[in-house]
Amino acid sequence: MTSDLRAPRLAAVACVLVWVAMGAAGAEDADPDSQPAPADRFAVHGQATYVEQEDGAFTAPYSGPNSLTPDSGRETADVTLDLGARLWRNAELWLDEEIDQGYGLSNTLGVAGFPSGEAYKVGRNQPYLRTARAFIRQTIDLGDATQEAGDAANQFADSYSKDRWVFTVGKFGVPDIFDVNQYAHDPRGDFLNWSAIEAGSFDYAADAWGFTVGAAAEWYHGDWTVRGGIFDLSDVPNSTRLDPGMHEFQLDAELEHRHRIAGRPGKLMMTVFQSHGRMGLLDQALALAQQTGLPPNTASVRSWRTRTGISFNLEQELTRDLGLFARIGKAGGNVETYEFTDIDRAQELGLSLKGGRWSRPDDTVAIAGMNNAISGEREAYLNAGGLGILVGDGRLPQPSTERIVETYYSAAAYSQIVFVTVDFQRIFNPAYNTQRGPVSVVAVRVHAQL
């Protein structure tokens, strides 16, 4: 849909949001004590992020359709307006409208652990408007003990029972709920690399912008949380369009345990996904390519299949300012990657330090190391000239793990509103190719939030 049609749609949806919220607030037989004050019925948040990123010269004896280009630079920019309204007790409606512009390095190709989470798989020179999120969240309290939730994007300041159900339905991102880590999860505020902000093997349901339509349920009980969800997959892998009505879908489940070690809080999560859709087997694509003499293409052998993966996510506070985080994951390596990136096995370890020790409590310095790997079937597929979602140098005669180190310093330039970040990444064996690289990537990020 073109942007000139999206503007009136945004106005119409906003009017409906206000009308529904006001109607719910004034419904008959409502308990006056349960209704929020007028000032709390609505919320408006906004953010703007600009990233300038460049890679340096590196060894590149050959290139393919999905290769990273040496000595290149790109920029991305996005502005988001988050509108929220309370519908009834503990029910919220959120609408996120976003303007995007720019490209990732090499059109978001060439590295499985891509160096910018602010770069979508869709790039444009001119700004364009799209709906990122439109969902309803219902919380049902199950006990008396409460905990506070601060005012933030897509979240009202409120108090909820520690034991509760949370239901979310509509359009949002699977990582909004699953595989969350306070130290490595937000490319607008912490790490930029794709395999730092999520488990690289977590092939979560999404369109090319990272969002989908579905439903999730969360049950909080004591130190435990159980989550489950069902979401639309794209109509074809790595597509800008979802396949509606759960014709192709993904099931996600997560078990989280919160703990304290030496009095310091932490949590450990196990996340499982299973995608059900039209996917191609890599060995079948290779066999057909040998018969035809053409490069292998999974699109020619797609049939109804499943792809399953599992990952573990740890975050642990070590001191008041220092936190440790780690992820490890594995996904089926004989089936084409469907949505995220070309990683079958992922490992991540890092540290994040707040600046209280040097009188800059809102600053953060952090470092992470990632190891990404693929199956033997995927190595053979890429060596024969096959293309993945992000990688494909035309050949892969000497494959190895893709190793990445990322470090950044985020400085609070104006209170807790404007942050300026300098980011550096060193990528060894980009796209699993020992004959290309290593490559250095530097970035500057400016982020403002209200």
Q: What would the pLDDT profile of 383-410 be if each residue is shown by its tens digit?
A: 999 999 999 999 999 999 999 999 999 9
φ and ψ of 304, to 5 deg: -70, 120
Band the pLDDT of 37: cuts 50, 70, 90.
low
Q: Where are the domains of the chain?
A: 43-449
How distant is the alpha carbon of residue 273 from its chain centre? Answer: 15
Burial annotation 269-294 (CB, 10 A radius, 16+ → b, else e): bebbbebbbbbbbbebbbebbeeeee
Amino acid found at 204? Y
Band the pLDDT of 36: cuts 50, 70, 90.
low
Tokens of 7: 């503007």
The three-class DSSP label of residue 431 is helix
The confidence score (pLDDT) of residue 225 equals 98
CB 256 within 8 A of CB 272: no
Question: 43-449 adopts what CATH topology?
Answer: Porin (2.40.160)
Distance CA 283, CA 378 (A): 9
Task: Tell me the average pLDDT of the chain.
Answer: 91
The confidence score (pLDDT) of residue 127 equals 95
Residue 255 reports pLDDT greater than 70: yes
CB 275 within 8 A of CB 304: no
Which residues make beta-bridge pairs with 52? 75, 444
Which residues make beta-bridge pairs with 316? 266, 324
| Nearest by Cα to 94 from 79, 109, 84, 102 | 84
The confidence score (pLDDT) of residue 238 equals 86
- Pairing of the two strands 42-55 and 345-355: unpaired
- Enumerate helices (H) and strands (E) in the chain, giving the number of each: 4, 18
Distance CA 419, CA 233 (A): 34
pLDDT tens, residue by residue, 294-339: 999 999 999 999 999 999 999 999 999 999 999 999 999 999 999 9
Amino acid found at 13? V
Distance CA 93, CA 78 (A): 22
Q: How far is CA 83 from CA 97, 137, 211, in A?
A: 8, 13, 17
